[in-house]
Amino acid sequence: MTVANDQNTDALISDDAVELYRSRGFINVPGLLTPEEVSEQLADAERQLAREKTELWEEDEGLAMDWVPDAGLRSEVTRRLTFHPKVTAVAERLAGAPLRLFKSELFRKPAGGRSAPTPMHHDEPSHPIEGRPITLTAWVALVDVPVERGCMSFIPGSHKLVTPKEDDDGMSPLERWPHFAWEERTTVPMRAGDVHFHHARVIHSAGANDTDTTRVSLASIYMDAEAVYRPNFVYSYLFPDDDLGGLKPGEQVLGERFPLARSGA
C-alpha cells in the first residue's frame, strides 16, 4: 500500500473540527484515504474475513456483526493502514497527546436480511486499559455506508457524562444511565475512504444492513501512550485467553504488540 507522507494536520483537519470532536465525541473526516488504498484494504479484508475465525455479536433479530480481532497482527496490508500517516496524525491531533495502537479489528455487517441493529453501547468497557480518557477509534469505511447499510448514530457529548465504573458488569449504557434514551442522536453516513473518529466513552449504535452489499470496515483503537493494563469484566468475558502478552495489572502497555501510533515501533 502506498500512503501519502503529508502529515500536516492543519491541512487534514481544522481547529474547528478538532473542537467539534472534543465537544461531541466524534467527527467524520471525508476522503482521508485514496480509492487505491481503499481497494487494496477491502480486498485484503475480504480475504481475512473468509480465512479467519471471527468473533460474533449476535442479537435476537440476527447478527449485528462479526469481526476479525487483532487484524493488524494477521496482515501486513492491514498493519500499514493502522499506521497510515494521515490517520495517526489526525488521531493524535484529536486526542491532544501521543498515542499507542491498542488493537485493530475488521468488522463485517452482513447483507441480505441477515443483519440486526448494533445496540447502544460505548467502547471503554471492552478496553482493559487505564490512562488519560483520550482513547479513540479510527473507523475506516471500506465500502459506502449510507443509513440503509448500518451507519452509526451517536449521542453528542455523552463522552463527557459517561464515567468509568470499577464494578462494570457489562450493563448497557441505557440500563446504567436511562436518561440517555431521550437524548438527541446524530446519524453519520460515510463514503468509502472516509475515516470516522470517536471517543471511547461516546454512546453510539448502528442500524441494520438492509442492502445487498456487506458493510466492511476497519477499526483501529488508539490509547494514551502511557496507559497501563487494567483487567475488566467485559474484556475478560469476550477474550478469556488474552492477557495482552503476559502483562500484569498496573503494568504499562508496551512492546511490539502496542507500538507508538506515529512511529509504528
pTM to 2 decimals? 0.92
Q: What is the pLDDT of residue 169?
A: 62
Tens of pLDDT, residue by residue over 188-206, are: 999 999 999 999 999 999 9
Cβ–Cβ < 8 Å for 209, 115 = yes
pLDDT tens string 80-120:
999 999 999 999 999 999 999 999 999 999 997 889 999 99
Is residue 122 within 8 A of residue 203, CB to CB? The reply is: yes
Confidence of residue 3 (pLDDT cuts 50, 70, 90): very low
C-alpha distance from residue 63 to each of 18, 47, 58, 115, 190 (Å): 34, 20, 5, 5, 21
Report whether pLDDT(5) > 80: no
Closest CA to 13 of 199, 217, 201, 195: 195
Question: What residues form DSSP beta bridges with 145?
Answer: 190
Beta strands in 116-181 (DSSP E): 118-121, 129-130, 136-141, 152-154
Could you tell me whether strands 99-109 and 186-188 are parallel, antiparallel, or unpaired per DSSP bridges?
A: unpaired
